[in-house]
Each structure stands twice: as C-alpha cells, then as structure tokens.
C-alpha cells in the first residue's frame, strides 16, 4: 500500500473519531437535560403518565420532545421515583 493511501485512511479514521466524539457529547448533553427535566417534573407533584409527559416536559424545557425523547423521559421519571422511594401505580 502506498503512503498516499495509508495517509488517507488515517485522516479518514481520525475525522470519523472526532465526529463520533462530538455526536456522543451532544447525546450526553440531551440525556443530562432530560434528567433535569424529569427531576423538576417529579418535584412539581403532578402525576406523570404516558399521555401527559410531553405537555409537562414543555413547561421545563425548550426542546421539542419526540417519541424517542418521550421514552427516555418516562424512563428517567421512573428512575427518579425509584430513587425517592415513591411507589407508582402500574396499571
């Protein structure tokens, strides 16, 4: 393999790693924001259900809550309830 091709592969690999690192950082930032929103929602005292989670989350964040974020937020609300020792009615 010539040096030209090897150098191209190395730079491509480095660019890919940098892109992946930035993408992962954005993802963790979203997770952290959803964690803060979940804690605020639980502290508000409103019963959080699958039907009203998007409307309640809009009070605490500017982010548009899509279906994936909705599922993550429901899981985080469950984790907050669990940490606080609050029993949730699973119907």
pLDDT (average), residues 67-91: 85
Using the predicted structure, report yes or no on whether residue 91 has a pLDDT greater than 60. Answer: no
Helices (H), 1-91: 3-44, 53-57, 67-84
Q: What is the pLDDT of residue 10?
A: 86
Instruction: Write down the pTM of the prediction.
Output: 0.76
Q: What is the pLDDT of residue 9?
A: 84
**CB-count exposure of residue 33 (10 Å: 0-12, 13-18, 19+):** middle
Q: How confident is the model over 8-59, as pLDDT tens digits? A: 888 888 999 999 999 999 999 999 999 999 999 999 988 888 899 999 999 9
CA distance 50 to 62: 19
Output the CA torsion 49→52→56→57 (10° steps). 80
Where do the domains of the chain lie?
Answer: 26-84
Average pLDDT of the residues of the chain: 88
Angle at 70 between CA 64 and CA 73, to 5 degrees: 105
């Amino acid at each position: 393999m010539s040096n030209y091709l090897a150098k191209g592969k190395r730079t491509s690999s480095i660019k890919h790693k940098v892109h992946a690192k930035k993408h992962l950082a954005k993802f963790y930032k979203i997770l952290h924001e959803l964690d803060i929103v979940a804690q605020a929602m639980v502290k508000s005292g409103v019963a959080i259900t699958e039907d009203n989670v998007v409307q309640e989350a809009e009070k605490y964040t500017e982010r548009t809550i899509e279906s994936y974020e909705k599922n993550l937020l429901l899981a985080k609300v469950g984790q907050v309830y669990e940490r606080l020792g609050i029993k949730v009615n699973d119907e």
